[in-house]
Structure 1
Amino acid sequence: MTNAAHVAQHYIAAWNETDPDRRRALLAEHWTDDAHYLDPMMRANGHADIGAMIGAVQQRFPNFRFTLHGTPDGHNDRVRFSWSLAPAGAEPVVIGTDFVQLAADERIRSVTGFLDQVPAGT
């Protein structure tokens, strides 16, 4: 069975990586070339689109960090985990839950995200 915590940690690392070159390397290592992402506000396909989407979120929330919220869970080729986004030392501004489907090599093939808490007016 997949190590759900390992998958979630690599996922969060990509979202927190502010250097575009290092973020591209993380995506190449831990996401399939044809990976796709979908949540109520965004969608992206492939490393370039996903990297640009992450960069846009970082611009919208400068100096914020993603952290795992609770314990990741997984079975077969699926992983589920919750996360939060907050500035250092502050309460989360955004909280979400993501469902990941993995490829046979255990890289991320798809992400379906749900937003549990978002700022007013977003």
Structure 2
Amino acid sequence: MIQRFIELGEGYSDIYELLELAKANQHRLQHMMALHTQISGKDMTSLVVVLKPTDPGKFQALYICREGIPNPTILPNKRYDLFAQTAKELGKQIIQLTVKPSEIFNEKDLFYQHLIGILRLNHYILPLQ
């Protein structure tokens, strides 16, 4: 199985694409997540839509708006409210995790491998097969 993060941006106008992906793929929607971190002293959040693996092909897409939204537990904001409203409409609870920031990794791919490991370890996505 291939599990891959697909970065849409940092969550400004691309958050609308993330929400549309969740709505258009309701039949495949597995999770909606908020990954909280701290970057240069600022509390930020990445929003993630996790789809079920394709059949055939066994490809699992994890769409992400990376670290561009203020942490809503510290600074409430409209972009997170839209994400939460969409999750409610789709009958999903937002899974919230605290993770390391991407800036501490030399490459974005290493950051995404780290996140995939965390999600596998917590049984949010299937283990390596």
TM-score of the superposed pair, with normalisation by structure 2 = 0.30
Query: Which protein, 1 or 2, shows the higher relative CO under an 8 Å CA cutoff with sep ≥ 6?
Result: 2
Q: Which has the higher strand share?
A: 1
TM-score of the superposed pair, with normalisation by structure 1 = 0.31
